[in-house]
Amino acid sequence: MEIGGRRALLTGASGGIGHAIARALHERGASLVLSGRRTAALEELARELGERVEVVPADLSSADGAATLAAEAGDVDILVGNAGLPAAGRMDDFAADEIDRAIDVNLRAPMQLARTLVPGMLERGSGHVVFVSSMAGKIANGGGSIYSATKFGVRGFAAALRDELRGSGVGVTVVFPGFIREAGMFADANVKLPPFVPTRSPEQVAAAVIRGIERDRGDIDVAPFTMRVSGWLAGIAPGPVAAAARRLDRSGVAEKLAEGQRTKR
């Protein structure tokens, strides 16, 4: 679908990856509803972009956060569910409420937003939904059980919803970022990767979102070739892929990531 002239709701817009997605959508001519928890960051982005921008702060971890946001956003043609909480760490390192918050923001909120906003798209015969998942939604490794659960959930929901909406004029895309430099959960944790592990940029995630909308792509990986192959192999041989990941994690990336994200759960 053409993005120009469309109204797009973007969650998680107050972070660096959200900023990149917002700029890309705005450049294509979309009118934006920017949502996130940090109002000051949203307003700064709105000033940068100029016209065709509204700011609607929301806390998607609250019980009525998604419903309130959908009501305030009104009729939208494009939903980009980018909001997410970090949830790296072993299961037994999480408090019960931390697990609930991760599920609420990473999985329940995008499902509820889609449930509320897609019927309007169907009535108009046009629209697109993009969910930002993670390569952790394809490759499950120890030290990421809670996060992977939410991201596998987004992957499954998006795939089934795309099939349900086939032929309706409403498309569904799920984007799978790997390690993203300069912005996002991984960058914020300030963890150094082994030199043989490449990263991708926020702008590449934004480009994937645009490509998904304009070309009606079902799923797009934003990751180096080796990680994309691992994601494919994990679907048919998860045990060997997990074993290989354990051997390659010589610098304890999973543990360092969990420690760097602990205060943001």
What positions carry a catalytic annotation? 147
* Alpha-carbon span 97 to 114, nearest angstrom: 24
DSSP for 208-263, please give it: HHHHHHHHT-SEEEES-HHHHHHHHHHTT-HHHHHHHHHHH-TT-HHHHHHHHHGG
200, 180 in Cβ contact below 8 A?
yes
Tokens of 116: 């509320």
* Alpha-carbon span 114 to 56, nearest angstrom: 17
Residue position matching structure tokens 């307003």: 43
Q: State the burial class of residue 120 (Cβ atoms within 10 Å of its Cβ: 0-12, 13-18, 19+).
A: middle
Tokens of 215: 């070309």
